[in-house]
Amino acid sequence: MQIFSTKEWEKTFELAKNAAVNIAIYSKKGEHLFGEQNVPFKDVTAPDTDLGYIFMPVQIDAINCVLVCKPIISIDKTVKIIQKAIELLNLTTEKKEQHEQLAIKCAYLQTINPAKNVERLVQATMEFLVHKLKLANCSIKLNGINYRYFETKTSHIYAEVENIIHKQTSNSRVPSRISSLQEDFMLKSIDRIEELPKAMLSLPLVKEGKYLGTIFCYLEEILNKKINQAEIVAQELTNNINLLTELQEAQTNARTDSLTGLLNRSLLFPYLDELITTNSEKETSTSLLIFDIDDFKKYNDTHGHLAGDEILRKLAGQIKRLPKDSVTFRYGGEEFVTILNSIDSNQTKEIAEELRKNIEENCDLTVSVGCINCKNSSVSSKMLLEEADKALYRAKSLGKNKVVQFIIIDKSLGVVDTTQA
């Protein structure tokens, strides 16, 4: 027990020597822990005397022990002095532990503060544990994903160990310590396990009854202090996983439409403004499609909103087949806007026609598409959308399920309707 090497214990021992000599501490099983050798042992549940010695049950650093001593004053006074000395020791130790726990918690939170996503949080946690607890290695299994601090030639051996221990920990949901991996009966069948560090501590990550994952700490010796520190980190990691997950979900919900998975309208103008500015500096064109589902209201009224939602999801699936550098926003109920970067007017029309055709073939309804292509990106985002909207309504007026393209060569030259050119 580390407590016997602390200054607090030295003060306690000096106080006890005012009342007794031949002081020794034993575990409840009779293992000699500290003090005089060759002092008799007797397991007791209350203070007792025998052979001129006092045998007292005491708890030191949360561990049940037996203190044996030969009194030099009255037995009653000796018992009271020693009990008081142990009480003061535990109070001092408890305060010291609380301070250390707070220090660990603060240091860890400071380390993970820059983490903006769960993956970075996990990486920062492993780095903290390895350096603070002086681990040989550290792994974290989280939501089915494995992370390891040191990737080595023995990584597959670590993985075999973790798969076995993970099953046990996920079921029991309590920390598990293995003082010797090489001698543990569950791991004996693993080849080359002797190449791993001697000991391992596994800590389940559980929040509100839900199992999230496991931390695996590899070290040469498991000490109570390191267990306590690792448990603090595990608890804070669990809390921060939930916080970051909720934050990421909130950010995703703010950015994307929950039904279609496309970007929300609120992001359209900032994105388009920035793109126009960039393309204007590069003297490249900006193209935009705006399309609307034909007769969607009638379909909704006839088949119901659930069927309408399914149409929107199918349409979103077709939109995701557009070029990878295109960006699509849900602009209204059944209206969408796709921005095509650095694409000429011919390519814009081809992409729009292909989208219209794919939707016609794979969805129960059709779309009308309005295209706008600005040759030198010299107009505002507002004007682009207004002209694309006019092209859309021109497509509707031509009988729906059509593509109409407008072209802006320069805003001073006006807008060209290619259907009338």
Predicted model pTM: 0.52
Mean pLDDT of 237-264: 80
On whether residue 107 sits in a domain, the answer given is no
pLDDT in tens, 318-358: 998 888 888 999 998 899 999 987 788 889 999 999 999 99
pLDDT at 227 over 80: yes
Taking alpha carbons only, the member of 337, 403, 413 closest to residue 375 is 413
Q: State what percent of residues in the chain have pLDDT above 70.
A: 95
pLDDT at 315 over 70: yes
Q: Residue 48: what pLDDT?
A: 94
Mean pLDDT of 95-118: 84
Report residue 146 as tokens: 């494995």
Q: Residue 15: what pLDDT?
A: 86
Cα angle 205, 208, 210; round to 5:
55
pLDDT band at 95 (very low <50, low <70, confident <90, very high): confident
* β-pairing verdict for 367-374 and 286-293: antiparallel
* β-pairing verdict for 415-417 and 403-408: antiparallel
On whether residue 15 sits in a domain, the answer given is yes
pLDDT in tens, 358-417: 999 998 999 999 999 887 666 888 888 999 999 999 999 999 999 999 988 766 656 777
Residue type (1 letter), 371: C
Distance CA 289, CA 387 (A): 10
Q: Residue 4: what pLDDT?
A: 67
Mean pLDDT of 99-119: 86
Report residue 378 as tokens: 């010299």
Mean pLDDT of 13-40: 90
**Are residues 158 and 166 in contact, defined by beta-carbon separation less than 8 angstroms?**
no
Q: What separation in angstroms does the CA of 84 have from each of 93, 146, 413?
A: 14, 50, 96
More confident residue, 224 or 267: 267
pLDDT band at 14 (very low <50, low <70, confident <90, very high): confident
On whether residue 108 sits in a domain, the answer given is no
Whether 405 and 271 map to the same domain: the answer is: yes
Report residue 420 as tokens: 């009338």
pLDDT at 420 over 70: no
Burial zone of 84 (CB within 10 Å; 0-12 exposed, 13-18 middle, 19+ buried):
middle
Mean pLDDT of 79-83: 91
pLDDT at 421 over 60: no
Whether 162 and 303 map to the same domain: the answer is: no
On whether residue 106 sits in a domain, the answer given is no
Report residue 314 as tokens: 């199918």
Whether 9 and 77 map to the same domain: the answer is: yes
**Are residues 376 and 410 in contact, defined by beta-carbon separation less than 8 angstroms?**
yes
Whether 80 and 11 map to the same domain: the answer is: yes
Whether 87 and 191 map to the same domain: the answer is: no
Q: Residue 9: what pLDDT?
A: 81
Whether 158 and 185 map to the same domain: the answer is: yes
Mean pLDDT of 68-84: 92
Taking alpha carbons only, the member of 104, 105, 123 closest to residue 244 is 123
Q: What separation in angstroms does the CA of 34 have from each of 10, 26, 119, 337?
A: 12, 7, 46, 78
Whether 31 and 72 map to the same domain: the answer is: yes
Whether 223 and 296 map to the same domain: the answer is: no
pLDDT band at 96 (very low <50, low <70, confident <90, very high): confident
Distance CA 286, CA 271 (A): 12
**Are residues 339 and 327 in contact, defined by beta-carbon separation less than 8 angstroms?**
yes
**Are residues 133 and 217 in contact, defined by beta-carbon separation less than 8 angstroms?**
yes
Taking alpha carbons only, the member of 162, 168, 194 closest to residue 180 is 194
Q: Residue 3: what pLDDT?
A: 66
Whether 303 and 323 map to the same domain: the answer is: yes
On whether residue 329 sits in a domain, the answer given is yes
Q: Residue 39: what pLDDT?
A: 94
Mean pLDDT of 216-233: 88
On whether residue 105 sits in a domain, the answer given is no
pLDDT band at 140 (very low <50, low <70, confident <90, very high): very high
pLDDT in tens, 44-54: 999 999 999 99
Residue type (1 letter), 332: G
- Final residue of a domain: which of 255, 284, 313? 255
Q: What is the CATH number of the domain that holds 379?
A: 3.30.70.270
Q: Which domain holds residue 391?
A: 263-417
pLDDT band at 219 (very low <50, low <70, confident <90, very high): very high
pLDDT at 92 over 80: no
Q: Residue 114: what pLDDT?
A: 85
- Final residue of a domain: which of 207, 230, 255? 255
pLDDT at 297 over 70: yes
Residue with the two structure tokens 């569950």:
186
**Are residues 41 and 30 in contact, defined by beta-carbon separation less than 8 angstroms?**
yes
Q: What is the CATH number of the domain that holds 185?
A: 3.30.450.40
Overall number of domains in the chain: 3
Report residue 190 as tokens: 């693993």
Q: Residue 5: what pLDDT?
A: 67
Sheet holding 48-50, edge to edge: 32-35, 20-27, 63-71, 53-60, 48-50
Lowest mean pLDDT among 55-64, 93-102, 180-189: 93-102
Residue with the two structure tokens 């544990």:
129
Q: Calculate the dihedral angle through the C-alpha atoms of 235, 239, 242, 246, rounding to the nearest 10 degrees.
A: -170
- Final residue of a domain: which of 98, 125, 142? 98
pLDDT in tens, 243-256: 877 777 766 667 88
Whether 14 and 132 map to the same domain: the answer is: no
On whether residue 208 sits in a domain, the answer given is yes
Whether 367 and 345 map to the same domain: the answer is: yes
On whether residue 378 sits in a domain, the answer given is yes
**Are residues 124 and 111 in contact, defined by beta-carbon separation less than 8 angstroms?**
yes
Mean pLDDT of 200-204: 94
Q: Calculate the dihedral angle through the C-alpha atoms of 407, 413, 415, 417, rounding to the nearest 10 degrees.
A: -70
Whether 227 and 123 map to the same domain: the answer is: yes
DSSP 14-35: HHHTTTEEEEEEEETT--EEEE
Taking alpha carbons only, the member of 324, 323, 327, 341 closest to residue 280 is 341
Distance CA 290, CA 329 (A): 10
Bridge partners of residue 263, in order along the sequence: 256, 329
Report residue 275 as tokens: 């793109």
Q: Residue 180: what pLDDT?
A: 93
Q: State what percent of residues in the chain have pLDDT above 90.
A: 52
